[in-house]
Amino acid sequence: MATCGNPNAPAVKFERLPTFAEPTHYDVRLLPCLNQFSFEGLSTVDVTIKEATDVLKVHAQSLLIQSVSLVANPGDAAKTCDTSYDDKLNILSIKLPSVVQPQKVQLIFKFVGELNDKMRGFYRSQYKDKSGSEKFLASTQFESTYARYAFPCFDEPIYKATFDITLEVENHLTALSNMNVVSETPSTGGKRKIVKFATTPKMSSYLVAFAVGELEYISAQTKSGVEMRVYTVPGKKEQGQYSLDLSVKCIDWYNEWFDIPYPLPKCDLIAIPDFSMGAMENWGLVTYREIALLVDPGVTSTRQKSRVALVVAHELAHLWFGNLVTMKWWTDLWLKEGFASFMEYMFVGANCPEFKIWLHFLNDELASGMSLDGLRNSHPIEVEIDNPNELDEIYDSITYAKSNSVNRMLCYYLSEPVFQKGLRLYLKKFQYSNAVTQDLWTALSEASGQNVNELMSGWTQQMGFPVLNVSQRQDGNNRILTVQQRRFISDGGEDSKNSLWQVPITVSVGSSPNDVKARFLLREKQQEFVVEGVAPGEWVKLNSGTTGFYRVEYSDEMLTAMLPDIASRKMPVLDRFGLINDLSALLNTGRVSIAQFVQVAASSANEDEYVVWGAIDEGMSKLLMCAREMSDDTLKSAKQLVIKMFEKSGAELGFAEQSGEDSQKMMLRALVQARLARAGHRPTIEKFNQLFTDFLEKGTPIHPDIRLATFGVVARCGGKEGFDKLMNLRETTTFQEIERQAMIAMSQTPEQPLLAQLFEYGFEKNKVRPQDQLYLFVGTGSTHMGQQYAWKYFCEHIKEFLEKYGGANSSLFQRCLKFAGESFGSEQRAVEFQDYFCNCKELNDTDRQTLARPIGQVCLSSNFFFKFLLQTVEAIRLNARLLESNRSVIETLLKQSNL
């Protein structure tokens, strides 16, 4: 095992700004130059000093501070101040001319900054116009700690203030900020214009935003009179129509649901070509990746269109959760992200029924959150944050998906009207202010009359979630359930912390599968519960509707009783998914074998729901992963088993959309046919190839929902000719979803020279935007060659990755790192992965501390740096464990299947 760094070295000490001073108002004037990639700035900050001091501290980063001066009293001349700078803390210390007693003062900063290419702070974004000419616009990304790149500020969420923004730009450019324009006047000389915006509400610095560029827009108005606009680069505004229509509904719906009207006169949604996050909820100027905002009705897939709806709804929910009420510190990041994530589903579920979004919730949110939280090296929802470099790391499936799922569980437990009442109390009490988690529990307790803090603290303050082991016995017409809880750990090991949760349990039964037969609250490690009126032989299922954030492990007797109603689909779809997904997760623990999973999956031969097939497909992919590591012959036989299971559905579904189908059927068709193609089913591969040929030669459109599967077949089976056709398609399309799908497909090529060509194209020639380069890794795990090539490439080019993404704390860097390694499946690879990052000369101790959770170190001390079996290393070892615990099982299964 590797030892990283000095185990006795103290962790780098970070500190927050002192609390003896706070800003009340900023007047920020910026002059950006898109030709020189720079900006000049002048900022005046009104500061209230609460304790006598001779020094003030603010955040600043990557700024050339030309001067700082102080106005102690209105009418006084500004006095120049000396400054010093701490590069590690990004803190600018301002030495005052003398000790200043509690009072109000003004600080005046003159500075110069760079419009950088790292997608943080005030940065530049590149695109091409219709003629192919290179163009730039400037935009912002200030969350979490990047406002300091644009102007000196108190860059912590608790320091709320009002902002006056003024931008001086070239006459032909559009300037946008959080608020509406109040004046536009020519500059001296007349070559530029000075655009002044209205004063913002009181808000945190990370929510300030501005954008400058050649932009066009479409607009509409809400019932409440809010002006909504969608801005794009020239030529794309019509693709914003779907999001514009949705955003208008969204503001009106949230106004009513929260019972607090949106307080700004306008809300702009802008599509930025280069954007590191999915989107950002800047108050009044919400920024998005183009792919997360723009929709072309004939080209956008159903899945992507539903994601656009969710992202739009998520960001607009933040206008209440996050903007109106803000967490005091990043420890409570979930207060905004978890609730915006939940509200996006509430809105889309109520307003876009065609997406059946609550079905997708189970896989995209609940299962995703459980996947990360099942690791020993997860983190609690409420996670202590001291080091700002740790912040990118917690924008993960715990903060979003687990928080979202826990909110859904609580909403079902309290009922939606009570949950809504509590959220309204919380928002009204803390509007224009800051809050902590306990404030939310207090409001929900007041609304419900229950001790919500006692119920929920275990879910947010401790890592992980429970698995309930359940057995039964019959007593007359009553079923006695014995339920035992323990922490679910993916490696099947014990929980040294002996964690305990209060678990809301719902129960359904075979005679009335759509109803909740009983409700219980599990408080102890083991309890017995009586479900009355259950006939002998009738199945009983826990977690009705899969609303709880926990897994269930049934006795063989209980599981076998459910199989007929899974096969007949009498059991509701949410429960079928939950049952199969639990079994898939239990594979890793060793408590369920692949053979047992295949038995249950085989009972689903008549399944017709996309999300259930998705859960089956996930489990079967684990079989294929293990078989690939065993031998070529074993993999060939495993693929034949997959074909045997999927072939009937594939034949029934076909390839063409049928009249009257809902949106889920085409997605199911793509999933089943794609799995058959990956398993080597020749008729399916030939059909996909024909679809692609007809598309290129005859212009016959490929249905958007089956396009990625088609591209994948061409990349895997079409050799250099197919690869070149996909590359040409990517080069000539103007739509980002097609670009992304072509990249993901090409990364699945089984030919190393082609994969090397793709990586050179994307990374070295920079033909792929940095925000999208992680997709070059996505498909490489489908082959041994791809796995090894991607890992070797990352190691050899880590210096370039660090530079490109702005350091080890970049979420883009960390995601590339994980994609490059986590598909391996042996202890040897886990050690190799860990050793590399421990000894890499391109990483310093600060980088390693930042990466401690995403990679994996040895547990030598209590320092954050020295964690044991952290996420990616743990994922590799889980793959290895799955193989070793199922090697003989797979051999027996394939023999019994005559394969």
Paired sense of beta strands 503-509 and 540-542, if any: antiparallel
- Residue 91 backbone phi and psi in degrees, to 5: -110, 125
Q: 608 Cβ partners below 8 Å, 6+ apart?
A: 569, 668
Q: Which amino acid is at 156?
A: E
**Residue 52 burial (CB < 10 Å; 0-12/13-18/19+)?**
exposed
Instruction: Quote the tokens at residue 474.
Output: 């019959």
| Bridge partners for 408 per DSSP | none
Q: How far apart are CA 372 and CA 871, in angstroms?
A: 8
- Residue 215 backbone phi and psi in degrees, to 5: -130, 150
The answer to whether the CB of 165 falls within 8 A of the CB of 178 is: yes
Q: Which of 168, 315, 365, 609 is catalytic?
A: 315
Q: Which amino acid is at 251?
A: I
Paired sense of beta strands 518-522 and 466-475, if any: unpaired
The answer to whether the CB of 301 falls within 8 A of the CB of 309 is: no
The answer to whether the CB of 431 falls within 8 A of the CB of 325 is: yes
The answer to whether the CB of 541 falls within 8 A of the CB of 553 is: no
To the query of whether residue 354 is one of the catalytic residues in this protein, the response is no
- Can you say which residues are annotated as belonging to the binding site? 314, 318, 337
The answer to whether the CB of 580 falls within 8 A of the CB of 600 is: yes
Instruction: Quote the tokens at residue 508.
Output: 């359904």
- The number of beta carbons lying within 10 Å of the beta carbon of residue 836 is 17
| Bridge partners for 195 per DSSP | 167, 184
**Residue 42 burial (CB < 10 Å; 0-12/13-18/19+)?**
middle
Q: How far apart are CA 596 and CA 683, in angstroms?
A: 29
The residue ranges of DSSP E strands in 525-671, in sequence order, are: 526-531, 540-542, 551-554
Q: How far apart are CA 696 and CA 191, in angstroms?
A: 48
Q: Is the dihedral of CA 253, 254, 260, 265 positive or negative?
A: negative
- Can you say which residues are annotated as belonging to the binding site for Zn(2+)? 314, 318, 337
CA distances from 271 to 126, 132, 137, 736, 812 (A): 12, 19, 11, 12, 19
Paired sense of beta strands 266-272 and 285-289, if any: parallel
Give the residue carrying structure tokens 């047992």: 596
Q: Which amino acid is at 339?
A: F
Q: How far apart are CA 185 and CA 221, in angstroms?
A: 27
Q: How far apart are CA 592 and CA 584, in angstroms?
A: 8
Length of the chain: 899
Residues annotated as catalytic (active site), given as ranges: 315
